[in-house]
Amino acid sequence: MRAPRLAVLASGTGTLLEAVLAHGIPVALVLADRPCRALEVGAAAGVRSELVERTEWSFGFDRAAYTERVVKALQDAEIDVVAMAGFGTIVPALPDAYPGRVLNSHPALLPAFKGWHAVRAALDAGVTETGTTIHVATAEVDDGPILAQEAVPVLPGDTEETLHERIKQVERRLYPQTIRRFLASL
């Protein structure tokens, strides 16, 4: 029986991907929704890196058709587990194609502060701590079984950028550890 094949979906700088690779976790595919550094990181590491470009950003965006393209690319690469790593397009049918096998990292202690601007929301709420959550993604955004969480204090004078960077430092350690445990459980 072969080891589970992992895909990492990214849209940005690829720092989470770098962390996964630095922890020695084999990645079979890097998939991005836009040209980004994460594709370069994957290619430089010898990982198949594929752009399934999202070209439409209006309300008319055909999310179902785009999701079909993403799922086809994953299936073509014989992927078993998907790790979302800052993927900027919501693909709600992806958990249906990979039930219980889509992981996501979120910069808050879920169920608090769901959505794209979680760090800003935590600051606006005046909380004294927030953090990062690794969870199994479901069709509902930032929902699903929690696999790991770690708190990060909100410090006086924090900006969205300074707080988010401290959260990312924890995330770059916690996400690879959680992915490794998850893959070993399959």
Residues catalogued as catalytic: 106
**Residue 70 resides in a domain:** yes
**Residue 78 resides in a domain:** yes
Say if residue 178's pLDDT is above 90.
yes
Q: Quick one: average pLDDT of 99-128?
A: 97
Total of domains in the chain: 1
Quote the CA–CA distance of 24 and 40 in Å, as a whole number.
Answer: 18
Q: What is the CATH number of the domain that holds 18?
A: 3.40.50.170
Residue type, 103: L
Share of the chain above pLDDT 90, in %: 96
pLDDT for 92 = 85
**Residue 149 resides in a domain:** yes
**Residue 1 resides in a domain:** no
Q: Quick one: average pLDDT of 123-150?
A: 96
Say if residue 1's pLDDT is above 80.
no
Angle in degrees, CA 140, 144, 146, rounded to 5: 150
For 61, the domain range is 6-185
Q: Model confidence at 148, in pLDDT bands (50, 70, 90)?
A: very high
Dihedral angle sign, alpha carbons of residues 8, 10, 16, 22: positive
Quote the CA–CA distance of 97 and 9 in Å, as a whole number.
Answer: 15
Q: pLDDT tens for residues 35-86?
A: 999 999 999 999 999 999 999 999 999 999 999 999 999 999 999 999 999 9
Share of the chain above pLDDT 70, in %: 100
Structure tokens at 71: 């799922």
Say if residue 125's pLDDT is above 80.
yes
**Radius of gyration, CA atoms only, the chain:** 16
**Residue 40 resides in a domain:** yes
**Residue 113 resides in a domain:** yes
Q: Model confidence at 153, in pLDDT bands (50, 70, 90)?
A: very high
In DSSP notation, 31-81 reads: EESSS-HHHHHHHHTT-EEEE------STT--HHHHHHHHHHHHHHTT--E
The mean pLDDT of the chain is 96
